[in-house]
Structure 1
Amino acid sequence: MSSASEHHGRPGQPGRPGQPGPGKPHHGGDADVWTTGGTLFAGVLMLVNGLLGVFAGIAGIAKDDVYARIGDYVYKFSLTTWGWIHLVLGIVIAVTGWGILKGASWAKATGVALAALGIVAQFLWLPYTPVWAFISIAIGVFVIWALCTDRADSAGP
């Protein structure tokens, strides 16, 4: 037989994520685990995607012929400009991803805004790396969903 402390942490402490605490009904425990896991995964994706953006930015700044444009596109910038955009955006996205992993209060709203900005930037970047741009857009959509569905901060005691 298991003790109450195995299910709810230390006596007097709230239960683990997804587990009801003492005197709390068990409502949506599995959903809480999924949203918490989704938020953690969104933080990791932002951190990795930001670092990859930094590397893409450095490559664009260092050599103007690293990326080749596929077809003609309405939104045109020089590769050096794109390099600086990716470098700055990548640093800010990586820092925000780290903030999400650390549980910073500012990080969720900032993460949603940066993921939206990243989606727009990747759309404009389509002629240079179309497959990666679509993957980054999908990552941005997931990050927005995960950060908007996590209600851990707004849940009352």
Structure 2
Amino acid sequence: MAQQVHATKLANSGWVSGGIVFAGVLMLVNGILAILQGISAIAADDVWARVGAYVYKINLTGWGWILVVLGVVAVIAGVGILKGFEWARAVGIALASLSMVLQFLFLPYAPIWSIIMIAIDMFVIWALAVYHPEKYAA
């Protein structure tokens, strides 16, 4: 019976550990992409064209600075997640949650990208929330 429980823990560990690594890589890549997206918004307001009318209107230069700052924090959190730092999981969940809200606000500028990013943020939140290293330790 003890071996069966141990085998179940190891099986779960692989799945969950893989999810946490994937979430860390996603945070790192999303952070880099946010920095690049922010730089393009700061450099030229005409890079992003608005698609239709939308209630939330954001100055693209301000939006660009928000993306750069959040991108830098996301890169730091992604590296922290990959290194196994506990604080990085909490920061990652907070950043992914904030990213979901910000991507909703960015819908008029890049609707398909924003929907994809919202889905990725949902996965990151799930992967970081279910990972408990002490629970899955062998």
Instruction: Please report the TM-score for the alignment, with normalisation by the length of structure 2.
Output: 0.92
Confirm or deny that 1:78 pairs with 2:59.
Answer: yes
Corresponding residue number in structure 1 for 2:120: 139
In the alignment, is the contact (CA less than 8 A) between 2:77 and 2:88 conserved in 1? yes
Larger radius of gyration: 1
Shift of 1:156: 7.0
Length, aligned pairs only: 136
Secondary structure of the residue that 1:128 maps to in structure 2? coil
Contact 2:99 / 2:121 at 8 angstroms: preserved in 1?
Answer: yes
- Tell whether 2:49 aligns with 1:53: no
Which runs of structure 2 are paired with 1:1-157 in the superposition (5 Å)?
A: 25-154=6-135
* Per-residue deviation, 1:26: 2.4
Which of structure 1's runs of 4+ aligned residues deviate more than 6 A?
Answer: none
CA distance in 2, matches of 1:114, 1:151: 19
| Aligned-residue offset at 1:129 | 0.6
Give 1:29 deviation, angstroms: 2.0
Other structure's SS at 2:8 match: coil
Deviation at 1:155, TM superposition (A): 5.3
Which structure's residues are more often helix, by fraction?
2
Question: Identity, % of aligned pairs?
Answer: 52
Question: Which digits, 9 at most, give the CA deviation of each residue in 1:18-65, with x for residues without a partner?
Answer: xx9x9x832332221000000000000000001000000000001010
Instruction: Give the 3 Å change call, closer, same or farther, for CA 79–30 of structure 1 in structure 2.
Output: same
Runs of at least 5 residues in structure 1 that lack an aligned partner in the other structure: 1-19
Q: Let me know the Cα RMSD of the aligned residues.
A: 1.9
Secondary structure of the structure 1 residue equivalent to 2:101: helix
* Unpaired runs of at least 5, structure 2: none
